[in-house]
Amino acid sequence: MLIDHLNRQLLEHRAQSLQRQRRTAESPCAPHQRVSRDGQPARELLAFCSNDYLGLANHPALIAALAEGAQRYGAGSGASHLINGHSQAHAALEDELAAWMAPSIPNAAALTFCTGYMANLALLTTLGDAGTTIFSDKLNHASLIDGALLARGALQRYPHGNLDILERLLTRCTTPLKLIVTDAVFSMDGDLADLPALLALAERFDAWLIVDDAHGFGVLGPQGRGSLAHFGLSSERLICMGTLGKAAGVGGAFVAAHPVIIDWLAQTARPYVYTTATPPALAHALCESLRLISGPEGDERRARLQQLIGQLRTGLAALIAAHPALGWQLVDSHTAIQPLIVGSNAAAMALAAALDAQDLWVPAIRPPTVPTGMARLRITLSAAHSQSAVQRLLDALAQTAARLSGAGTGAETGAEAATIAGAVA
Ligand SMILES: *Cc1c(COP(=O)(O)O)cnc(C)c1O
């Protein structure tokens, strides 16, 4: 029966070290977070795992704007946007986002969604109907993959960043509509897509370029306007999805594009039409968030973030040079996502456990999220981190690296790793 079947599957999952455990936070999203797990007493951890890149999630001005929005519009929206859930706050946010994106997408209009996941499903299912081919980078986010699978059009996936293969696929494609889809900043590697070259291909082959800017919005480009602004691109062929729960610190997402595309999405996209609008207070708070991001405080926070990124990369590079036998690798990322690739699942788990023992919270990312043999720590930085916090992480990694190197051969290193994992698990 179902329960037995699922229990067997859960056991198998666990046997492969794939089980995930939630931690329950007792304090706001911030570098120092009080969390508990499995009924154990709460601990204060120094976290390097949130996507709150500018440290706005717990910003007093956003909390105040959320409260003000709730006073003005109440707690819930009451219905979908097309019934009576669309408020003045949503409309104001859409206007601001459209203006925000106008330098990259001339005459852009914008539509807000409850989540980025839903926005991507909406985009790909609505635009990618029969007669369409979707060209998708193999490392694109799960929501883009799911959207492409749900769409009725054809799907062609190209190897990560391989524009030669993409060009060959485009040359052979005969469908009237072609959509090239890419993360702007890849979520597990932190590297940037070559958006100028992708846009050039789109222009050459009369295709559209859909850019998921979940990790660039607020962080990259002048005033944090995102990856398209970072590259100084401008084209009506661009369709941009941005999330509002990462650097923007609140929640939700938007699509910016040609007004006719936006109108069609609002009329027909099922993840837009058949869902309750987000509470208007969130949209109200997000208008404040856009002001913070694009103002002097945003500039200051982005500068601090860049400084921390430099500090971390310098420290990690030195660590890797000191312990070449460990085979650790840095990724060519200059964003807030800084993976440390360690190889095997066991090594990644052991390293995360060793950090956990020192009250540091850095998630280990394993296949299938990343390719086999490329398990890693996914370190994310926030402007809210201090230099001493980054130093504490580097010191803990150096200590662990020294211990693992001291263990001698690879086999012994594995045994040591297993011991560390066992001690903490
Ligand atoms: C987080 C993320 C999403 C989904 O956004 P949510 O608002 O969290 O649903 C989509 N794409 C990428 C690349 C992401 O990192």
Distance 116 CA to ligand 1 centre (A): 5
Whether pLDDT at 420 is above 80: no
The confidence score (pLDDT) of residue 407 equals 66
The confidence score (pLDDT) of residue 156 equals 98
Higher per-residue confidence, 345 vs 184: 184
d(CA 236, CA 323): 49
Which residues on adjacent β-strands are paired with residue 66? none
d(CA 191, CA 183): 10
User: From atom 4 of ligand 1, which residue's Cα is the shortest distance away?
Assistant: 116
Q: Is 16 helix (H, G, I), strand (E, B) or coil?
A: coil
* b/e 316-334 (16+ beta carbons within 10 angstroms → b): beebbeebeebebeebebb
With contact defined as beta carbons under 8 Å apart, do 131 and 176 qualify? Answer: yes
d(CA 339, CA 363): 10
Atom of ligand 1 nearest to the CA of 244: 7
Distance 414 CA to ligand 1 centre (A): 34
User: From atom 6 of ligand 1, which residue's Cα is the shortest distance away?
Assistant: 116
Per-residue pLDDT tens digits for 374-389: 999 999 999 999 999 9
User: From atom 5 of ligand 1, which residue's Cα is the shortest distance away?
Assistant: 116
Select from 404, 398, 408 the least CA-distant residue to 417: 404
Domain with CATH 3.40.640.10 in the chain: 60-294
Give the relative orientation of helices 410-424 and 345-356 as an angle to the nearest 10 degrees. Answer: 50
The confidence score (pLDDT) of residue 205 equals 98
Task: Place domain 23-52+297-424 in its CATH homologous superfamily.
Answer: Aspartate Aminotransferase, domain 1 (3.90.1150.10)
Distance 239 CA to ligand 1 centre (A): 16
User: From atom 1 of ligand 1, which residue's Cα is the shortest distance away?
Assistant: 214
Torsion sign (Cα): 291, 214, 250, 46? negative
Atom of ligand 1 nearest to the CA of 252: 7
The confidence score (pLDDT) of residue 18 equals 75
Q: Is 8 helix (H, G, I), strand (E, B) or coil?
A: helix
Tokens of 369: 């999220």
For the residues 60-76, what does the mean pLDDT come to? Answer: 98
Per-residue pLDDT tens digits for 308-332: 999 999 999 999 999 999 999 999 9
Mutation pick for ligand 1 pocket among 52, 136, 143, 272 (CB with most ligand atoms within 8 Å): 143
Whether pLDDT at 416 is above 70: no
Please report the DSSP string for 158-190 in residue order: E-TT-HHHHHHHHHH---SEEEEEEESB-TTT-
Reported pTM = 0.94
Distance 188 CA to ligand 1 centre (A): 12
Select from 208, 186, 215, 321 the least CA-distant residue to 261: 208
Mutation pick for ligand 1 pocket among 117, 240, 272 (CB with most ligand atoms within 8 Å): 117
Which residues on adjacent β-strands are paired with residue 373? none
Atom of ligand 1 nearest to the CA of 185: 13
Least confident window among 141-150, 219-228, 360-369: 360-369
DSSP class of residue 244 equals S
Residues with CB under 6 A from ligand 1: 115-117, 120, 141, 143, 183, 187, 212, 214-215, 243, 245, 253
Confidence band, pLDDT 50/70/90 cuts, at residue 424: very low
User: From atom 14 of ligand 1, which residue's Cα is the shortest distance away?
Assistant: 214
Tokens of 396: 């803990």
DSSP class of residue 205 equals T
Tokens of 312: 């971390």
Residues ≥6 apart with Cβ < 8 Å to 379: 48, 312, 337, 338, 339, 340, 362, 393
pLDDT over 70 percentage in the chain: 96
Domain with CATH 3.90.1150.10 in the chain: 23-52+297-424
For the residues 126-150, what does the mean pLDDT come to? Answer: 97
The confidence score (pLDDT) of residue 422 equals 36
Whether pLDDT at 423 is above 70: no
Distance 43 CA to ligand 1 centre (A): 28
User: From atom 7 of ligand 1, which residue's Cα is the shortest distance away?
Assistant: 116
For the residues 75-88, what does the mean pLDDT come to? Answer: 98
Higher per-residue confidence, 361 vs 412: 361
Q: Is 414 helix (H, G, I), strand (E, B) or coil?
A: helix
User: From atom 8 of ligand 1, which residue's Cα is the shortest distance away?
Assistant: 116
Atom of ligand 1 nearest to the CA of 140: 13
- Report the CATH number of the 60-294 domain: 3.40.640.10
Tokens of 94: 């859409």
d(CA 171, CA 169): 5
CA of 403: how far to CAs of 326, 354, 407, in Å?
11, 11, 6
Q: Is-cis flag, bond preceding 368, omega within 30?
A: yes
Least confident window among 12-16, 72-76, 258-262, 299-303: 12-16
Whether pLDDT at 408 is above 70: no
For the residues 36-47, what does the mean pLDDT come to? Answer: 92
Per-residue pLDDT tens digits for 214-263: 999 999 999 999 999 999 999 999 999 999 999 999 999 999 999 999 99
Whether pLDDT at 81 is above 50: yes
**Average model confidence (pLDDT) across the chain:** 94
Distance 117 CA to ligand 1 centre (A): 6
For the residues 400-409, what does the mean pLDDT come to? Answer: 78
The confidence score (pLDDT) of residue 411 equals 41
The confidence score (pLDDT) of residue 185 equals 98
Per-residue pLDDT tens digits for 181-205: 999 999 999 999 999 999 999 999 9
For the residues 131-149, what does the mean pLDDT come to? Answer: 97
Q: Return left, alpha or beta for 33; rule: phi > 0 is left, psi -120 to 50 is alpha, else beta.
A: beta
The confidence score (pLDDT) of residue 367 equals 86
Select from 237, 203, 389 the least CA-distant residue to 311: 389
Whether pLDDT at 418 is above 60: no
Whether pLDDT at 409 is above 80: no
Distance 243 CA to ligand 1 centre (A): 6
The confidence score (pLDDT) of residue 406 equals 80
CA of 346: how far to CAs of 22, 190, 250, 353, 366, in Å?
20, 23, 35, 10, 9
For the residues 151-177, what does the mean pLDDT come to? Answer: 97
Place of tokens 């693992």: 404
DSSP class of residue 370 equals S
